[in-house]
Structure 1
Amino acid sequence: MCKDVFFIGVDVGSTSVRAALVDVNGHVLKTSVKELQTWKPKVDYYEQSSKNIWENCLIVIKNVISSVNPNFIKGIGFDATCSLVVLDKNCNPIAVSESNNDEQNIIMWMDHRAHAEADLINKSGHEILKYVGGKVSLEMEMPKLLWLKRNLFLKWPEFGYFFDLPDFLTWKATGSLSRSLCSLVCKWNYECAENGKQGWNTSFLKEIGLEDLLDNDMQKIGSKVLMPGEYCGGLTDDVAQTLGLLPGTPVGTSIIDAHAGGLGMIGTQGEDIDKKISSRLSLICGTSTCHMAVNAKPIIVQGIWGPYYSAMVANMWLNEAGQSASGMLLDYVISNHPAGIVLSSKYNTGELRKHLYSLLIKMAHEKSLTDMNLLTKDFHVYPDFHGNRSPLADPTMKGMIVGLTIDSSEEKEIALLYLATLQGLSYGTRHIIDALLLAGYEPFKSLLICGGITKDPLYVQIQSDVVGLPILKPNEKESVLVGSAILGACASQYFNNTTDAIQNMGGKAQVIKPNTEIKLYHDKKYNVFLRMFQDQIKYKAVMR
């Protein structure tokens, strides 16, 4: 391998833009990060600025290549959240809500304004919905586009281009209006079926009232569709000059951020762990958590998105599940507790979690318990505070807490709340696995895990204990950035194919093994978890 070959990975997450300089072995040599601005004009509205995002992309890229000969940069890859970018007919930002601030031209993935529109689309019962677990999510793009048409109908004719955020980034870099198959099949109801049929489904768009998106050869939503990592163009002269890179530097077709994490991890190797990629479930854990499974054959799973062809790994079918709030939920339950407010003023996030961990150890010792998990015998958290993405596919689900007491020791109470929330998130993973297995997946042999929450070792261990499987945690901490860099490597054609790039850049992993002695306890708590969502559904029926 050549020591003078590097790739750039750019990741646009929910709160920040990051870039990395990555070598041919998948080692991240340098990173840079810039925080993003987010507006919350109403409850469940989340908006960002494409101008703010792109400017920060340029800054972080320049930071990571500042001491590198531009001749050695062979490719660039972009990933981003599946947020909707809206431009006018002159390719300028245009407002996406009644605020009329054109700076706010992105509806974020987590925005839940399009509830009624998602319901309307789902009532159509169109055949294409089988590829999203039977129901389109209000976090996807078609409900959001329909919301714009119904609620900003006077401005609708002014909208000229709609991009998934990852595709917007490659357009800014290269000028290419191509779209990624990953974004389109996962979030835009673009058809890529097992019978080989591919394209925008005309009858679906007509039935939901968005047939005008087909005008002018689908100019607004894209007609040229490429595989993730496929060469989509070279850096334009202007962008190259701004960055100090060579014009024409290859740029890979983009991918969704969670899928980049899956791509960066899927080739990871751990001792005595099955290397077959279809035996692995990937968890990309950040503000939300995505659960990625790939299979050689398409498997339809009720309540879980997919199967999507070549959306992450070439020629494999992807099923995508997830939790709408995971890291966000942990932050919420801690920061909204009286003790959490006090502790947050003393500790940063990592130190706070360590403090709660030490409290749990102390409490378990005081009660002569063999494992701290036993502390929550009578304390249960159902974690769908921001709705259920999978496998219930019900955005109206709410969080639940059972076991609150009048306890003067607030720190002990918040420690229990923290532990029970970690457990609840892990039971959500198990619920997803059960749905995959019921639909026809072979039993998984391991979990792969990356993302911000994985810095918390208790979260990782509990996930392993609950599902009874070993977890591979990549030694390279930035799997998402490695995944986006793999896209740049594929575009550069340095490797023979995507599989070759994955295997060479995947790296090694630490193996976390489950504690089998606590499995029966978690089985019981998992049964409580199942009863909690079933009871909530009954409560809704009573109140109806």
Structure 2
Amino acid sequence: MTPYYLGIDVGTGSARAAIIDSSGTICGLAINDIQLWNPRANYYEQSSEDIWSSVCLAAKAAMAQSGLKPANIKGVGFDGTCSLVVLDRSGKPISIDPESSDGENHRNIILWADHRAGKQADKINATDHEVLKYVGGKVSVEMELPKILWIKENLQERWNKIGSFFDLPDFLTYRATGNASRSICSLACKCGYVPPDTSVSPQQGWHDDFFQSIGLAEFINENYSRMSTSQIFSAGQKVAGLSQYAANELGLLEGTPVSSGLIDAYAGIVGTLAAKIPGECGNILMEQRLAVIAGTSSCHILMINRPLFVDGVWGPYRDALLRGHWLNEGGQSATGKLIDWIIDTHPFSIQAKTLADEKGISIYDLLNEHINTLQKRQNLPFSSKLTKDLHVYPDFHGNRSPLSDPTLCGAIVGLTLDVSLDALALLYYSTLQSIGYGTRHIIEAMNNSGHNIKYLYMSGGLCKNELFVKTMADATKCPVVLPKYVEASVVIGAAICGASASEAMPIDGDKRTTLWDFMERMNGTGQIVATTAISDEIEYNERKYMVYLNMWKDQIHYRHIIEGKN
């Protein structure tokens, strides 16, 4: 029987299911929305029950679309956002919303984008503990430990009832199998766990003195049972088979192998980083490939065969994806969300969306077309020169990398009273450029610390936008490689992990195939987007990048003035 594999991806706003065959071709794809609560500024909450319900609906819809039978599915893989799932001692949801009443426990997830735990992040970072060097010197407010500490300090009654903390990908495998094991990916990247590697750190696993210093000493006495188990798996390893209960909910067979969970950006690497480029694939070394998974936010991840420490960039994480390899991860907390915010808050937004609907195209296509019109109207040699008097600094939700400062804000210089389609198109375009310069800032920090990034391997919803992709290439001076399924690479990555867990595709002569082998076989052939060859445009981007850096420095300078430091 021909093997097929199911991938489940839980993003910020939806659950997606994809079924692929042994070559990585999609045979079924379905999406189902999930709920998000934003009760106040910087609070973002979700429900694990709602997410699982959406997962099951998406899986059944993908199966129906494929026409396959449950017996055809030989492996299942899950990925999700790095959000904190909280369960009580009986395994039921317990609310993390401070205003929920007794019995209202469905909102039991603190979303990755939630910034309520800023003070707790500062408290953890003030310890300057050795563990922090594995996250670029500072823990992020978006990671799990600040959120856990916030719950302890603000929800004491519930704290004593909590039985488990899960990073969302690990919750999904737990919900699917009943096995509460954890992944190296989640524990190392978000929870302060140091994977074994005596060449870097003499102490491995959990650092008791670190948890003592940050105010979570009870975890030591509990042997970290609320956060982990003795079973910790690498990506692509089989955790267990589907439980009978979960199999019935998903419309699959009990016992179907389930892979260890992955954070969504890391699943994106699995579905992106081994994309083949005719004539060039063999010449691009793994350590020259920066994976950029661009959606609501963007993650910038590099895999390398040795550990490198980069200030403001997370990692190095050993074994978080491939055994014996380290990963460094940078990121931008708002990219797709920022672009939509810029459009939605502009005075011409409603009219622009009406025009797009009348033409039967997306708002992004409308704006891209108008940018081409403006270039021709002004007789410019290249479109990027349209924004010479308009500059955006993109950290509207703080800076994740390389500055590691969640308090930074966005800025726009060059606004006028113009509220036309022209003004909206130019502001949108300048925002795309600023995201590209933010990525260049991350690349420079990584290369200055020993990396050698030369190509961007990009995927995610933003990559459907050709202008965004071209702008990224020009702003960073790195050609962009796109996989076969640019928008579905994350869920395909989860499905590839399901294939690895099933071990249904051994390579001749090998008893155990690595995850990279599956990636190479199932990523398919992509395309490459070159950087600009126009010397004046290259120089123009250099000057725009200098403005970007100065806008960041100016913001710090303004703070110092207000604080009386200047």
Cα distance in 2, alignment partners of residues 229 and 396 from structure 1: 36
Cα distance in 1, alignment partners of residues 353 and 119 from structure 2: 37
Cα distance in 1, alignment partners of residues 447 and 516 from structure 2: 26
Cα distance in 1, alignment partners of residues 345 and 4 from structure 2: 44
Is 2:421 the counterpart of 1:423?
A: no
Secondary structure at the aligned position of 2:223 is classed as helix
2:311 — aligned with what? 302
Is 2:525 the counterpart of 1:508?
A: yes
Of the three residues 316, 333, 342, the one matched with 1:324 is 333
1:211 — aligned with what? 217
Mapped contact 2:3–2:504 kept (Cα < 8 A)? no
Following superposition, the deviation at residue 280 of structure 1 comes to: 0.4
Secondary structure at the aligned position of 1:239 is classed as helix
Of the three residues 248, 264, 268, the one matched with 2:255 is 248
Of the three residues 25, 28, 50, the one matched with 1:27 is 25
Contiguous gaps of at least 5 residues in structure 1:
none
1:369 — aligned with what? 380
Secondary structure at the aligned position of 2:56 is classed as helix
Deviations 1:70-101 (A, max 9, x none): 22211000000000000111111111021223
1:174 — aligned with what? 177
2:412 — aligned with what? 401
2:544 — aligned with what? 525
Cα distance in 1, alignment partners of residues 70 and 483 from structure 2: 29
Cα distance in 2, alignment partners of residues 208 and 320 from structure 1: 24
Cα distance in 1, alignment partners of residues 450 and 33 from structure 2: 42
Amino acid at match of 2:347: P
Moved more, 70-79 or 213-222: 213-222
1:86 — aligned with what? 86
Deviations 1:415-474 (A, max 9, x none): 1100100000000010000000111112x2311111111111000001111122211111
Moved more, 174-183 or 354-363: 354-363
Deviations 1:224-277 (A, max 9, x none): 211111110000112223333221110000000011001111111113333421
Q: Which runs of structure 1 show a deviation greater than 6 angstroms over 4 or more consecutive aligned residues?
A: none
Cα distance in 1, alignment partners of residues 110 and 351 from structure 2: 33
Cα distance in 2, alignment partners of residues 385 and 431 from structure 1: 16
Following superposition, the deviation at residue 350 of structure 1 comes to: 5.6
TM alignment of 1:449-468, pairs within 5 A: 449-468=458-477
TM-score (norm 1): 0.97
Of the three residues 120, 124, 128, the one matched with 1:125 is 128
Of the three residues 192, 197, 203, the one matched with 2:195 is 192
TM alignment of 1:80-159, pairs within 5 A: 80-100=80-100, 101-159=104-162
Secondary structure at the aligned position of 1:177 is classed as coil
Is 2:562 the counterpart of 1:543?
A: yes
1:220 — aligned with what? 226
Amino acid at match of 1:296: N
Mapped contact 1:271–1:511 kept (Cα < 8 A)? no
Identity over the aligned pairs, expressed in percent? 42
Amino acid at match of 1:515: T
Mapped contact 1:85–1:107 kept (Cα < 8 A)? yes
Mapped contact 1:263–1:313 kept (Cα < 8 A)? no
1:161 — aligned with what? 164
Amino acid at match of 1:286: G
TM alignment of 1:383-394, pairs within 5 A: 383-394=394-405
Deviations 1:278-336 (A, max 9, x none): 11011100000000111111000000000001212332110000000000000000000
Amino acid at match of 1:120: K
Secondary structure at the aligned position of 1:129 is classed as helix
Contiguous gaps of at least 5 residues in structure 2:
506-512
Cα distance in 2, alignment partners of residues 237 and 350 from structure 1: 44
2:509 — aligned with what? none
Is 2:435 the counterpart of 1:435?
A: no
Following superposition, the deviation at residue 193 of structure 1 comes to: 5.2
Cα distance in 2, alignment partners of residues 43 and 350 from structure 1: 33
Secondary structure at the aligned position of 2:157 is classed as coil
Deviations 1:370-395 (A, max 9, x none): 11100111110000000000000000
Following superposition, the deviation at residue 14 of structure 1 comes to: 0.1
Following superposition, the deviation at residue 516 of structure 1 comes to: 2.2
Secondary structure at the aligned position of 2:437 is classed as helix
Secondary structure at the aligned position of 1:504 is classed as helix
1:311 — aligned with what? 320
Following superposition, the deviation at residue 362 of structure 1 comes to: 1.7
Cα distance in 1, alignment partners of residues 392 and 322 from structure 2: 35
Cα distance in 2, alignment partners of residues 475 and 430 from structure 1: 25
Cα distance in 2, alignment partners of residues 440 and 250 from structure 1: 39
Following superposition, the deviation at residue 346 of structure 1 comes to: 4.3
Mapped contact 1:89–1:159 kept (Cα < 8 A)? yes
CA RMSD, Structure 1 to Structure 2 (Å): 1.4
Mapped contact 1:335–1:344 kept (Cα < 8 A)? no
Following superposition, the deviation at residue 499 of structure 1 comes to: 1.8
Cα distance in 2, alignment partners of residues 342 and 160 from structure 1: 51
Mapped contact 1:80–1:166 kept (Cα < 8 A)? yes
Is 2:285 the counterpart of 1:276?
A: yes
Is 2:49 the counterpart of 1:55?
A: no
1:378 — aligned with what? 389
